[in-house]
Amino acid sequence: MSHEYVPEIAVDRDGKKHEVQGWQGDFYGGKLGFWLFMLTEVMMFGAMFLVLTYYYSLHTQDFLDASAHLNRLLGGTNTVVLLFSALTMGLGLLKMRTGDVKGAKTMIWATIILATLFLGIKGVEWTEEYTHGVFLGLDALQSGNEHSRPFGQILFYGMYFTMTGLHGFHIIIGIGLMIWLVKRIDAGKVSPHHHILHFNIALYWDLVHLIWVFVFPYFYMIGAGDVTGGAIHGH
């Protein structure tokens, strides 16, 4: 709103005054709305984890074999990168709250760089998998040909590319949001007194990294038994 919003006053029968909550400048409402939106993301990824768990129970050994072939070094590095980006994002918000706008901007740029790094590593990882013939649409993940993997592996990789792909899509959206946030800060629309946008984007980023915290062990670590010294016996 271009001009300052002045809340209306309602008066009850005893003459007591009550401030009316308007939709303008409702920080708490903006927060609530975004938390609810995050809930929809949880439901969406939750459904995919459900699918994953179901197929894990049907094809346990195939899942472990497929997982063992994922690149844990790159996946692990990415996990660290993303955790650091969550830290920079959080620090940025703290700085914004305490009035350090310049510091907040630096932290947002740091987050953007870390997010881009994450995508870069993800790209290397997917390319590597592609050259090994494992990618959506390639023969190995289709049934009924000489390269076909077992059912469970097809399902595992199918879900792997779907979920890390959707997660990566969220990262891209996040980068866009952060660049927009920097522009809004420069335009003076986001300030220490009015930082709901910063707050919500930080919340979004937390969710994006939280989802990864679940994606990483479910895909990369379940088949790590052979590497780490035998958490899985009897195959």
Partner 1 sequence: MSNSSNSGKSYLEAGETHYAIGHPKSVFMQWMLTIDHKRIGLMYAAVIFVFFFVAVLVALSIRIELFAPGAQLFDGDSYNQAFTLHGVIMIFLFIIPGVPAVFGNIIMPLMIGAKDVSFPRLNWFTFWLYIFGALIALSSLWTGNGFADTGWTFYAPYSLNTNTNVITTLVAAFVLGMASILTGLNFLVTIHRLRAPGMDFFKMPLFVWGIYATAWIQLLATPVVGITLILALLEKMFGIGIFDPSKGGDPVLFEHLFWIYSHPAVYLMILPAFGIMSEIIPVFSRREVFGYRTIALSSASIAGIGYLVWGHHLFTSGMSDLAKTVFSFLTFFVAIPTGVKFYDWVATMYKGKIILTTPMLWALGTMITFVIGGLTGVTIAMIGADIHLQDTYYTVAHFHYAMLGGVVFLLFAGLHYWFPVMFGKMYDEKKAKIAFYLNFVGFNVLWFPMFIAGYQGMPRRYFDYLPEFQIYHQISFFGALIFISGLAYMFYVLIQGMKHGKPSGTNPWHATTLEWHLPSSPPPLENHSKVPYVDFRPYEYHHGEPVVKFDYKTMKRID
Which residues would be at the binding site for partner 1 (CB under 8 A)? 8, 10-13, 18-23, 26, 28-29, 32-33, 36-37, 39-41, 43-48, 50-51, 54-55, 58-59, 136-137, 141-144, 150-152, 154-155, 158-159, 161-162, 166
Could you tell me the smallest distance in angstroms from the CB atom of residue 12 to partner 1? 4
Could you tell me the smallest distance in angstroms from the CB atom of residue 209 to partner 1? 19
Q: Nearer Cβ to partner 1, position 8 or 186?
A: 8
Q: Nearer Cβ to partner 1, position 21 or 191?
A: 21
Q: Nearer Cβ to partner 1, position 13 or 233?
A: 13
Could you tell me the smallest distance in angstroms from the CB atom of residue 213 to partner 1? 19
Q: Nearer Cβ to partner 1, position 33 or 76?
A: 33
SS (H, E, C) the chain: CCCCCCCCEEECCCCCEEECCCCCCCHHHHHHHHHHHHHHHHHHHHHHHHHHHHHHHHCHHHHHHHHHCCCHHHHHHHHHHHHHHHHHHHHHHHHHHCCCHHHHHHHHHHHHHHHHHHHHHHHHHHHHHHHCCCCCCCHHHCCCCCCCCCHHHHHHHHHHHHHHHHHHHHHHHHHHHHHHHHHHHHCCCCECCECHHHHHHHHHHHHHHHHHHHHHHHHHHCCCHHHHCCCCCCC
Could you tell me the smallest distance in angstroms from the CB atom of residue 155 to partner 1? 5
Q: Nearer Cβ to partner 1, position 59 or 209?
A: 59
Could you tell me the smallest distance in angstroms from the CB atom of residue 26 to partner 1? 6
